[in-house]
Amino acid sequence: MASPRLKREQSFDFEEASAQEAVGSASASYSPPGGGGVFGISPPESSPRDGRKRRKDRPSLVKHTFTPHFDGHLWRKYGQKNIKDSAFPRLYYRCSYREDRQCLASKLVQQENDDDPPLYRVTYTYEHTCNTTPVPTPDVVAEQPPPGAAGDAYLLRFGSSAGGGGGGAHQQQTERERQQQNTARRRPFMMLSFDSSSSHQLHEQPHAFPPDGQLPATAAAASPSSFTAAEALAAPPLTTTMNDGGDLFSTWDALRYGLDYDHGHLGNHVYLPDDCNGGDDNY
DNA sequence: ATAATTTGACCGTG
DNA sequence: CACGGTCAAATTAT
């Protein structure tokens, strides 16, 4: 009858409290060279009896990006809630290794705008204590989006996070985003789309990318002369010219080819410009 | 069948 | 009291 809600032992008490906002800065690189990292906190192993840390005390990192799922880590969605202050629901993700490696790393993904390339505000809480090496994922961060001014172009910052070669964590994106018609009525902004060899849940998608690595004409044709992420992505010359310092290309190249290799099971990642969900907010 | 996801409800903090 | 956050169970997808 009633819901047997068991008493959960939520004794999350941490020390340290540095809520920094790395807005427009891809400096959110998780590289703890020796007990530091972005958060610089310690795992909750002490006796959480006295220090009643408030929620606000939790170390969190705010980052704006168009690819909230491209941080090189595996996240498991554990909740979704509608925020009164936001027209979009907030998604709660936790490290998939939380139970395996006690990784308390969690992140909140909230859509800020419903622009063609929806901007997501990702709030990272705690660092990954797991030993999993993040896959080289390009971070597309938006730099200070115009609040009210005519934002014609966002400053997309392409950065590569982590550079491990072993490949421990795989990106996994399993959002049930219904494929709506790509009506590029507004700005022909291109979305980042990575297709893997293995077909996943998106059986509805026959082919997101041509084998030759060409960008979908959907936006390609729609962007006659405008800086778009697609251009930057499609820019990398496939001619093995070995451009020194081509970190960007290197990353992308590895992403497009390295990840393409079905070494096991890579997650598909298809970003579609769907104007948020249809009114499907079952409340 | 397994795993991840989804949704609702409860708790904590402000 | 209200909002936000998390957990638990149920459902769905693979």
> Which pLDDT value is given to residue A75?
92
> Which pLDDT value is given to residue A103?
83
Give SS3 for A7. coil
Q: How far is the CA of A161 from the C1' of C4 (A)?
A: 30
Secondary structure (DSSP) of A187-228: ------EE--SS--S-TT-S-SS-TT-PPPHHHHTT-SS---
Task: Check if the beta carbon of residue A162 is closer than 8 Å to that of residue A257.
Answer: no
**Residues having Cβ less than 7 A from any atom in strand C:** A 3-6, 8, 10, 55, 78-79, 81, 83-85, 90, 92, 94, 106, 108, 125, 176, 200-203
> Which pLDDT value is given to residue A99?
77
Q: Chunk chain A into consecutive blocks of 10 residues (it has 283) and report each block's average pLDDT, rounded to whole numbers.
A: 44 40 41 48 43 68 86 90 90 88 87 85 84 58 46 50 43 43 40 36 36 36 37 37 37 36 34 36 36
> Strand B: which positions are within 7 A of a protein CB?
4-14
Q: How far is the CA of A282 from the C1' of C7 (A)?
A: 19
Question: Can you say how many angstroms the Cα of residue A140 is from the centroid of all Cα atoms in its chain?
Answer: 9
> Which pLDDT value is given to residue A156?
53
Instruction: Classify domain A59-123 at the CATH superfamily level.
Output: WRKY domain (2.20.25.80)
Q: How far is the CA of A283 from the C1' of B8 (A)?
A: 9
Amino acid found at A210: P
pLDDT, tens digit, for every residue of A105-137? 899 999 988 787 788 999 998 877 776 666 555
What are the sequence ranges of the domains in chain A? Answer: 59-123
Does the C-beta of A283 come within 7 A of strand B? yes
Residue A5, judged by CB atoms within 10 A of its CB (0-12, 13-18, 19+), counts as exposed
Does the C-beta of A77 come within 7 A of strand B? yes
Q: What Rg value do the Cα atoms of chain A yield, rounded?
A: 20
> Which pLDDT value is given to residue A158?
55
Does the C-beta of A265 come within 7 A of strand B? no
Does the C-beta of A261 come within 7 A of strand B? no
> Which pLDDT value is given to residue A86?
86
Torsional sign, CA A251, A164, A123, A78: positive
Beta-carbon contacts of residue A234 (< 8 Å; ≥ 6 apart): A213, A214, A215, A220
